[in-house]
Amino acid sequence: MSAVPAPRPRPRIAVVGMPNTGKSTLFNRLSGVQARVANWPGMTVDLLRARVLLGATMVELVDLPGMYSLHGMGEDERLVRHFLTQEPLTALLVVVNAAQLERQLPLLLQLRALGRPLVVALNMADEARRLGIRIDCEKLARALRAPVHLVDAKHGHGIAPVQEELRRLLGSAALEATDAGAATREDARFEEEAARIAAAAIDVAHALPARLTDRVDRLLLHPVWGVPLFFVLVLLLFEIVYGIGLPLQDGLQWLIDAAKSTWIEPALAAAAPPLRSFVLEGVIDGVGTVVTFLPIILVFFIAMAVVEDSGYLVRVAFLMDRWMARLGLDGRAFVMQLMGMGCNVPAIMGTRVLRSRRQRLLSMLIIPFSLCSARLQVLVFLAAAFFTREVAPFVMLALYTASFAVAFGTALVWRRRFSGDEPLVLELPPYRVPTLRSLLAQGWQSSRHFLESASAFILGGVLLIWWLTHYPFDAAPASADTLAGQLAAWVAPVFAPIGIDAILSIALLFGFVAKEIVLGGLAVIYGAGQDELGRVLAERLTWQQGASFMLFTLIYTPCLSSVATIWRESKSAAFTLLAIAWPLAVAWTASFAFYSIASPAAR
């Protein structure tokens, strides 16, 4: 019997280049996969893969983290080096910032030394033209012995020639041997060859055109006014969230209430009381209340995308570097803190851009204090319930500021144990106007992640809270006779000193799994939808109790996904336990101090 030939491996193309070259944007254009894209270094922290049809061939396209050199010692650079030298690859798609080609040529030459077929995409060609930079692609291609094409990935220009080159390579490229040592050895010859190629192929205007970037930077990076302006912009962001998101949220809630009263309640009229309560109070009120925050999440992330894609966040890192240095960190840790506003998980993974393990651990310890999107929906709702529309944005700004204060305080306490002294090396990209396509894509991606969470952790957590607050079914819902009441009585001594009602603590306990469960849990506990829940909370709790609950929710133990990521990234059970216990202790202490001072009843 003849042997069956082994199947041929699927062709694999790696997308590689320095940070902030638009790799992920080009990856999205080629694959249709909406990867996280932002205009500052270190966003891509893991391998993103997609299957792409090039001609008649299905190809695996892999987006690698940004790197400055093949001989770098950062974890992200080690990951890329291992992938490029150990994995079977058909070709490399090297993405270069056309406006910084001369500086990025040494890395390009190192990649060429790997012996893989190359296609070079000179991205951001529009910016290079505006700066008076002219590139002779034919001379550059001859010098590199690889095809070179000008690309504007943000607007989709120049994509077709790159696709055609990749299709051509698929018919001729072979998996060639790699001399990893030759490519990864720090060799001055790469610098010398890069200088010769740049002199022959790049022409820079003697007088660069006036740049708006310089004028704006004089204001936003001002040593005195830069930080206050940052917090003014944050306040403006929350004003936008309330001004646009809340009316959209009310509209979605109206649709859910209409469906509930018109179709669902009549359909359940003859159902057994437990089943009726399960559907109406557990599924509709609990999960529905969480889902109504989809418009707020969408508006928030679109607004954040404008800040990120414009190039402002990397400047915030530069601005905050001197302050972070006093805490044993640098400006990149502050960027990770801001990144945590979306979700703590990718921000924790993003600490790989920090080469010092001590700095990585310290950064992982403070990131969970970021006001992530899950906490955001809870705090936005409670701020609207306990405070007026005019005051609520300032309450959110205060909480946002408090999250930074707690994070910085934590860094101050633990800096002797975890601090490092690695210097910050960062490039400031020009300001860019984000495209509507990019903003909507990022907003939808974040919203989709929110909906996927709602269908898993949130649904399970909210329904479990319903069962705890309604079983046994002959007891009054959420009473002391239910399972939730018994559990609440057990934890009451912990939460009573900080003004949190015992039954409310049940929602906080399940918030450890996913913070989105907190809001749905409140809806189930009080048997109220989003419209009624705010009124019920305002009637049953004082503003001091509400604020203490918000402060505890802001600070306490990160969600289960964040804890799992900390464990995986730190490879230390002891550090993971610290990351759980420390925020819990700080949250209780902060809420106790606030409630003791603000509430006359607590004195």
pLDDT in tens, 396-438: 889 988 998 999 899 989 988 876 655 555 667 777 777 787 7
Q: Distance between CA 286 and CA 282 in Å, rounded?
A: 5
> Quick one: 190 and 304 in the same domain?
no
- What is the reported pLDDT for 178? 43
- What is the reported pLDDT for 35? 52
Give a yes or no: residue 371 inside a domain: yes
List of residues 6+ apart from 512 with CB closer than 8 A: 557, 559, 560
Confidence of residue 457 (pLDDT cuts 50, 70, 90): low
Quote the tokens at residue 183: 């490519």
> Quick one: 62 and 132 in the same domain?
yes
Give a yes or no: residue 589 inside a domain: yes
Report the range out of 68-82, 192-206, 259-273, 311-325 with the highest average pLDDT: 259-273
What's the Cα-to-Cα distance from 363 to each of 199, 342, 350, 352, rounded to whole Å?
Answer: 42, 16, 10, 10
Give residue 538's domain range: 226-430+437-602
Give a yes or no: residue 6 inside a domain: no
> Quick one: 253 and 130 in the same domain?
no
- What is the reported pLDDT for 531? 67
Conformation bin of residue 145: beta by default, left when phi > 0, alpha when psi is -120 to 50: left
Amino acid at 415: R
- What is the reported pLDDT for 534? 83
Nearest C-alpha neighbor of 545 from the set 577, 502, 510: 502
- What is the reported pLDDT for 419? 62
> Quick one: 190 and 230 in the same domain?
no
> Quick one: 286 and 330 in the same domain?
yes
Q: Distance between CA 107 and CA 80 in Å, rounded?
A: 13
Confidence of residue 179 (pLDDT cuts 50, 70, 90): very low
> Quick one: 286 and 396 in the same domain?
yes
DSSP 389: T
> Quick one: 188 and 236 in the same domain?
no
The arithmetic mean of pLDDT across residues 560-580, rounded, is: 89
Going through 109-197 in order, the beta strands assigned E by DSSP cover: 118-123, 133-135, 148-150
List of residues 6+ apart from 53 with CB closer than 8 A: 59
Give a yes or no: residue 467 inside a domain: yes
Which of 149, 173, 204 finishes a domain?
204
User: Could you tell me whether strands 148-150 and 118-123 are parallel, antiparallel, or unpaired per DSSP bridges?
Assistant: parallel
Q: Distance between CA 576 and CA 562 in Å, rounded?
A: 10
* Range with lowest mean pLDDT among 181-185, 454-458, 485-489: 181-185
Question: What H or E segment, with its residue span, contains residue 14?
Answer: strand 12-17
Give a yes or no: residue 220 inside a domain: no
> Quick one: 510 and 475 in the same domain?
yes
Confidence of residue 593 (pLDDT cuts 50, 70, 90): very high
Phi/psi at 93 (5° precision) = -105, 105
Query: Please, are residues 516 and 374 in contact by the beta-carbon 8 Å criterion?
Result: yes
The reported pTM is 0.66
DSSP 600: G
The arithmetic mean of pLDDT across residues 364-375, rounded, is: 87
> Quick one: 177 and 253 in the same domain?
no
Query: Please, are residues 450 and 469 in contact by the beta-carbon 8 Å criterion?
Result: no
Q: Distance between CA 586 and CA 554 in Å, rounded?
A: 11
Which tops the pLDDT comparison, 22 or 288? 22
Give a yes or no: residue 68 inside a domain: yes
- What is the reported pLDDT for 188? 65
The arithmetic mean of pLDDT across residues 225-251, rounded, is: 84
Give a yes or no: residue 4 inside a domain: no
* Range with lowest mean pLDDT among 102-116, 290-304, 496-510, 562-576: 290-304
> Quick one: 196 and 232 in the same domain?
no
> Quick one: 103 and 244 in the same domain?
no
Nearest C-alpha neighbor of 362 from the set 408, 302, 296: 408
Q: Distance between CA 500 and CA 591 in Å, rounded?
A: 9
Residue 583 pLDDT > 90, yes or no?
yes
> Quick one: 196 and 235 in the same domain?
no
Give a yes or no: residue 215 inside a domain: no
Query: Please, are residues 195 and 101 in contact by the beta-carbon 8 Å criterion?
Result: no
Which of 172, 204, 236 finishes a domain?
204
Q: In the chain, count of helices (H) and strands (E)?
A: 30, 8
Domain count, the chain: 2
User: Could you tell me whether strands 57-63 and 48-54 are parallel, antiparallel, or unpaired per DSSP bridges?
Assistant: antiparallel
Query: Please, are residues 21 and 41 in contact by the beta-carbon 8 Å criterion?
Result: no
Q: Distance between CA 423 and CA 309 in Å, rounded?
A: 25
CATH number at 79 reads: 3.40.50.300
Confidence of residue 128 (pLDDT cuts 50, 70, 90): confident
Residues facing residue 135 across a β-bridge? 202
